[in-house]
Amino acid sequence: MDKNTILAIVLSVLVITVGMTIQTTFFAPDPATQAVQQEALQPGTSPAAATTTLEPAQYSQIPSNIAWNSKLPGSLVSVGNQGSSAPFTFSTEYFIVEFNPNGASVSSFKLRKHLDEGQPVELLFKSQESNDAFLLYAGKDKTNPIDANFRYQISGNKVIFTQEFALLSEDGKRAGDPFTLTKTYTFGSEDYLFQIDVATKNSVNKAVPLSFENAAYTLAFEPQIGPSFASLDNNYNYRRFYVKEDGSSKKSQVKLSNGAYTTTKPLSWVALVGKYFSMIAIPDATNYTVSLSEESDAGLPLQSSMYLTRPAIRSASQTDTFRFYAGPQLKGDMAIYNDASQNSFGVANLQLEQALDSSSWLGWLETILKTILNLLYKVIPNYGVGIIILTFLLKMVLYPISKKGMESTAKMASLSPKMAEIKEKYPDNPTKQNEEMATLYKKEKINPMGGCLPMLLQFPILIAFYGLLNKHFELRGAMFIPGWIPDLSMPDTVFTFGFNLPFLGNQVHLLPIIYTVSMIYSMKITQNASTAGSQQSMMKFMTYGMPLMFFFVLYNAPSGLILYWSVMNALSIFQQLYTNKKKSKEAAEEKSSNVQQFPGPKGKKRT
């Protein structure tokens, strides 16, 4: 293997390493965020709290001499009257919720103001095998939900579920004092927050402990937040857990161990966050045990579930309050919970907007670009057109910088004849070629790296634009060209195979191909065709290897992002062609002037 090949390999590894570092540093969650370490991960060992139903006639036959006891391996049974088991729909200005009386759970949760293929987006991603959301489990058990049939009533903005339960022993002949379990959903009028109150009341009005292994119940959100997906790449589409501890000023991203995480620390909130939507649980002051899990099961590519386990209840009656934010990743919809006067529940200082992903130190630049893009959209209501116009504006702002780089490149191109002479003079000595080239550059006052400096100066804008176009909420569902680019937040798909291509999947995206071709052509016209020695091999790698590498990296990137880069490449091509032509004309005029000024012998012009 010659040294040129080795150098190309080393440089390609360096480029990939730097690229991955940049992606991790600038495009991942806030680097100030510290991952939360696992505290008390223990698989649930409690016996299954199976739920059965007794007819009203059997209720009077249950002895009342058994108290709630964690040592008694019994079953939880419903003993009250049964209501309708048919699911029903409850709508607000913001939500369309389908409730299931079995378990007083939620089987569908849609957002009216946000669409997915023309329909309200489904925020509960589940399969036929999946559990509903907001089921209760007895104690710490997370395998058998309390799926008894609840009675329900609707009162204004409240949906109230009620059922009576008792603890049945293994022989089925003894039970503790029955208690009433009430689960109330309360919805706000103008926000994405809703509330779940879980109330227990003992029938004998005595402080009889409600406990399964020192835990009363577990409230669960499962199996996953929507919209639906076939796979996650943790960059263009992802699900992440964040927690905000009481007293902390910042959120922390959770690192799961073997797909699970458990903490007993008091939390202000715990969030399951996607690229555009989030589900944030805000418990009351009770010291709940929070458990998070990820697994591929129940017919889904990935389940991401949150569990809040309540300590044992040792009073005759108890009401626990949980609030949930279920909505878009938009600061305007989240920040209203910092001011009690701006939301329906009168809550303050929740700082839910910290669940938003940002691009760290370039967030301010993202904000500027986002503001300009939104202003352009008000003039021309098409975000694709807005991206193109904004790209033109950025090119104009950067023109003084890019002009110098392109002039340097063009000047180097004008030296091609002299470079060719050096190559002919030292055909078998690349080292001497490079030395003579360096001397020529110094004499002509040319910096071979002059064309790279503008690229470095443009890099922060490139990073900020990446962050903006990768997660700008308004781009979700934004159409650019009907039939080709119906959604700027997704890759453009022009054809789908019935099989997977290596590294690419089963979809053909046209924009990454256009971007790669434009990048190759742009690099070909900016490099010096007569570069000598090892530089020639390196430039050949940069011309073809780099674009192909970026093709695979960006193949599934949002079309809005690839549109920006493709337009920027096109503008750079036209600018470089114009500069090269101008410099060639100036060089020709200078040569003609020199010939006329210094004619050859006998009146002949020197050639």
Query: Are 473 and 422 within one domain?
Result: yes
Express each pLDDT in 421-480 by its tens digit: 777 778 777 788 778 777 877 776 666 655 566 666 677 877 888 888 888 888 888 889
> 598 in a domain, yes or no?
no
Q: How far apart are CA 104 and CA 175, in angstroms?
A: 23
Query: Are 210 and 319 within one domain?
Result: yes
Express each pLDDT in 164-222 by its tens digit: 988 776 665 556 678 899 999 999 988 999 999 999 998 776 665 676 778 899 999 99
Residue 288, number of CB atoms within 10 A of its CB? 24
| DSSP letter, residue 117 | T
Q: Give the pair of three-digit tokens for residue 355.
A: 């669940």
| Residue 167 identity (one-letter amino acid) | L
User: Which pLDDT does position 599 carry in this prediction?
Assistant: 60
- Residue that finishes a domain, picked among 300, 329, 356: 356
Q: ω into residue 227 within 30 of 0, thus cis?
A: yes
| Residue 319 identity (one-letter amino acid) | T
CA angle 403, 404, 410 (to 5 degrees): 85
Query: Are 316 and 383 within one domain?
Result: no
Query: Are 303 and 370 within one domain?
Result: no
Task: Name the percent of the chain lying above pLDDT 90.
Answer: 39
Query: Are 336 and 371 within one domain?
Result: no
> 207 in a domain, yes or no?
yes
The packing angle between helices 559-597 and 453-471, to 10°, is 160
Query: Are 350 and 374 within one domain?
Result: no
Mean pLDDT score, 571-579: 82
Instruction: Determine which of 9-23, 304-318, 517-531 has the lowest per-residue pLDDT on average.
Output: 9-23
> Total domain count for the chain?
2
Q: pLDDT-based confidence at 40, cuts 50/70/90? A: very low
> 388 in a domain, yes or no?
yes
Q: Which residues contact 331 (CB under 8 A, 6 or more apart)?
A: 353, 356
Which of the pair, 426 or 103, is modelled with greater confidence? 103
Q: Which residues contact 60 (CB under 8 A, 6 or more apart)?
A: none
Q: Which residues contact 221 (CB under 8 A, 6 or more apart)?
A: 133, 134, 272, 279, 281, 305, 306, 307, 324
Express each pLDDT in 510-524 by its tens digit: 999 999 998 888 877
User: Which pLDDT does position 221 carry in this prediction?
Assistant: 97
Query: Are 352 and 370 within one domain?
Result: no
**pLDDT of residue 116 exceeding 80:** yes
CB 412 within 8 A of CB 579: no
User: Which pLDDT does position 49 carry in this prediction?
Assistant: 38
Query: Are 352 and 366 within one domain?
Result: no
Mean pLDDT score, 281-295: 95
Query: Are 474 and 552 within one domain?
Result: yes
Instruction: Determine which of 154-168, 370-384, 549-563 has the lowest per-residue pLDDT on average.
Output: 549-563
Query: Are 90 and 11 within one domain?
Result: no
> 40 in a domain, yes or no?
no
Query: Are 128 and 191 within one domain?
Result: yes
> 460 in a domain, yes or no?
yes
Express each pLDDT in 386-407 by its tens digit: 999 999 998 888 777 776 666 6
User: Which pLDDT does position 63 carry in this prediction?
Assistant: 39
Express each pLDDT in 480-495 by its tens digit: 999 899 988 888 988 8
User: Which pLDDT does position 412 carry in this prediction?
Assistant: 66
**pLDDT of residue 304 exceeding 60:** yes
- Residue that finishes a domain, picked among 356, 373, 397: 356
Range of the domain at 293: 51-356
User: Which pLDDT does position 44 carry in this prediction?
Assistant: 34
Q: Give the pair of three-digit tokens for residue 103.
A: 């378990």
> 284 in a domain, yes or no?
yes
Q: pLDDT-based confidence at 547, cuts 50/70/90? A: confident
The mean pLDDT value of the chain amounts to 79
User: Which pLDDT does position 254 carry in this prediction?
Assistant: 94
> 96 in a domain, yes or no?
yes
- Residue that finishes a domain, picked among 321, 356, 391: 356
CATH of the domain at 116: 2.70.98.90
- pTM (2 d.p.): 0.77
> 72 in a domain, yes or no?
yes
Which of the pair, 603 or 351, is modelled with greater confidence? 351
User: Which pLDDT does position 432 carry in this prediction?
Assistant: 80
Q: How far apart are CA 547 and CA 561, in angstroms?
A: 16
Query: Are 230 and 285 within one domain?
Result: yes
CB 331 within 8 A of CB 278: no
